[in-house]
Structure 1
Amino acid sequence: MQLVGKEISHIKFGEGIVKESRDNYITITFSQGEKKFLYPKAFNKYLTLKDKKVQLQVNQALEVLQKEELMQQIYIGEQQRLHKLQMERFYPDSQAAFGFVQNNREEVFSTWSLYAGSYQSGSSKGKPKLPVRLRLNSACLLTECAKGVSEKKRRILGVFMPREEFEGAACKDGIINSHERYRIKLEDKETMFYWNYIPEAEQVLKWGNIEIRYISNLTMQKILMDMKLVISDLKRRQEMEDFYQYFCLVNKLEDIEH
């Protein structure tokens, strides 16, 4: 793009001519003398070219720069958040399996949010439970056992990580919203049974009235590994791989081989 010699206008210095254009700055000659500006940043607020065609090209360069800066900010923010997560202490069994007792399957997958359930007795009966053991490292496993089907055949429907600002102890309404990126729904043909991953001594004949059952981080890791194997298409399999790597990172777990 040829900027040298182009007429330009500055909101304070008035009319000028571009004298020099280098990688990240331009020099403009005004009646008051020469001034240097960052390129293309200065065009965001202060500079306007009289050549509309070249101005359009500058606007495109500015858009590219703004996107790069935004991605850099997101990357830095994500690295800071991951570092904070890795510095926190977590329970070894801070993963959650939801039984779809007080949740509706269609609503959960349309909103990608879960209800932690209500207290069943005592002075707080009917009020939302605080999922106090859930943290940002907690995967929320979605399971369901259809009516008339043995509890042993409870299926895994999907999984998600909580939204970035989630804090279980502060979740007074009991609503757990999912992370926009780390969430996976299994298709009907991608069959996984929940109780296959739970030690026999901890298995039950009926799920009961509670919405959440807590499981170990290692158990959830094994489930996520197997989810990578049952997912059929490449795109979702890569998403599951990203989910798995993120889960291991925030839970300080080493990748395990089958």
Structure 2
Amino acid sequence: MNLINKKVTHKRFGTGSIVKHNDSTIEIHFATESKKFIFPDVFGKHLKLHDESAANSLEKIIQQREIEQKKEEQKKEEEKKLQRKKQELRLEYEKLMNNHKLHPKSQMVFWCDIEEQSSSFSEWKVFSGVIKSGTNKGKPNKPIRLHQNSAVLLTAIDSNMPEKDRCILGVYMVNEDFIGKLCEDGYIPAHSKYKLQLTEQEANQMLFWKYYVNEKSPQNMTWKTGKYRYFDNLWMAQILHDIVSLKSDPTERELAQQFLKHFCKMNQITEQELSKPDGALMRI
């Protein structure tokens, strides 16, 4: 829009002529001096165009500018609300962290069916299942014991094999900011770094019942129902220790060692003082 030489009237400076303008400023020559103003903000309250056609076109520009400004203000307000929400979540998270006490059995062992044996490693997450009865029937289970110190052990067994032959397929720490109490969808995602998958040969050497024991019936190896069990932090450390010994590839062994070190730190376990596995298989 070309406004050069258009006549205007300013409330304070009187009548003048536009000599320069761009998208952000406008310069007007009055009787004794030239003045620069912010464009198009100066129009309306302070400045009036004499040319009616140009004034109508300018009004449309101003209205469009106001619409864009309102959108920008709304966007900024939404961003502020989002930041406040993130801050509230962060404060809630920090409060939970500060008040969190390590549960001695805050690890999870998960029973992978045929489909999950593949998806658990391609997606690196498991689903805790749904509540079977009560007022919350059908809603996802909240893995309330799981916290940043927790790991998920993935296990499986062939349908024609006895329960004592249940093997360990892999293991992962939960995601860095995962808190079971806040989990609404039942999915337990893996840590970005600490996750290990065993080869078939390795899995056959890592039998779950070597480490796990039912305290009420120490020699009984039965799973019965449910997709997962909570189990002892020390047992998970023993499993990770044996995975380190099992890995022959230098890169995988190093990652397993870092995993074990991180896990022991998060669970306040001294690696050098780990006892030998004493699960149900070891008591036969």
| TM-score normalised over the length of structure 2 | 0.57
Question: 2:24 maps to what in 1?
Answer: none
Match runs of 1:1-258 below 5 Å: 88-100=100-112, 104-190=116-202, 191-199=205-213, 201-202=217-218, 205-256=221-272
TM-superposition CA deviations, 1:126-161 (whole Å, max 9, x none): 321000010010011111111111110000001001
- In structure 1, the gaps of 5 or more residues are 1-83
| Cα distance, 1:185–1:230 mapped onto 2, change above 3 Å | same
Note if contact 1:103-1:114 (Cα within 8 Å) is conserved in structure 2.
no
SS in 2 for 1:132: coil
Note if contact 2:176-2:192 (Cα within 8 Å) is conserved in structure 1.
no
Q: Which has the higher contact order (CA 8 A, sep 6+)?
A: 1
> How large is the Cα RMSD of the aligned pairs?
2.4
Note if contact 1:103-1:115 (Cα within 8 Å) is conserved in structure 2.
no
- In structure 2, the gaps of 5 or more residues are 1-95, 277-284
- Partners of 1:251 and 1:139 lie apart in 2 by 10
Note if contact 1:93-1:217 (Cα within 8 Å) is conserved in structure 2.
yes
Number of residue equivalences? 176
Following superposition, the deviation at residue 225 of structure 1 comes to: 0.6
SS in 1 for 2:188: strand
TM-superposition CA deviations, 1:147-189 (whole Å, max 9, x none): 1111100000010011111110111100011011000000111
- Partners of 1:164 and 1:122 lie apart in 2 by 32
Note if contact 1:99-1:207 (Cα within 8 Å) is conserved in structure 2.
no
TM-superposition CA deviations, 1:29-80 (whole Å, max 9, x none): xxxxxxxxxxxxxxxxxxxxxxxxxxxxxxxxxxxxxxxxxxxxxxxxxxxx
Question: 1:50 maps to what in 2?
Answer: none
- Partners of 2:198 and 2:98 lie apart in 1 by 29
Following superposition, the deviation at residue 197 of structure 1 comes to: 0.7
- Partners of 1:239 and 1:254 lie apart in 2 by 18
- Partners of 2:108 and 2:129 lie apart in 1 by 13
Letter in 2 for 1:215: F
Specify the structure having the higher radius of gyration (Cα).
2
| Cα distance, 1:204–1:89 mapped onto 2, change above 3 Å | same
Letter in 2 for 1:198: Y
Note if contact 2:209-2:221 (Cα within 8 Å) is conserved in structure 1.
no
Letter in 2 for 1:256: Q
Following superposition, the deviation at residue 205 of structure 1 comes to: 4.7
SS in 1 for 2:171: strand
Runs of 4 or more consecutive aligned structure 1 residues displaced over 3 Å after TM superposition? 84-88, 202-206
SS in 2 for 1:227: helix
Following superposition, the deviation at residue 89 of structure 1 comes to: 1.7
Question: 1:22 maps to what in 2?
Answer: none
Percent identity of paired positions between Structure 1 and Structure 2: 36
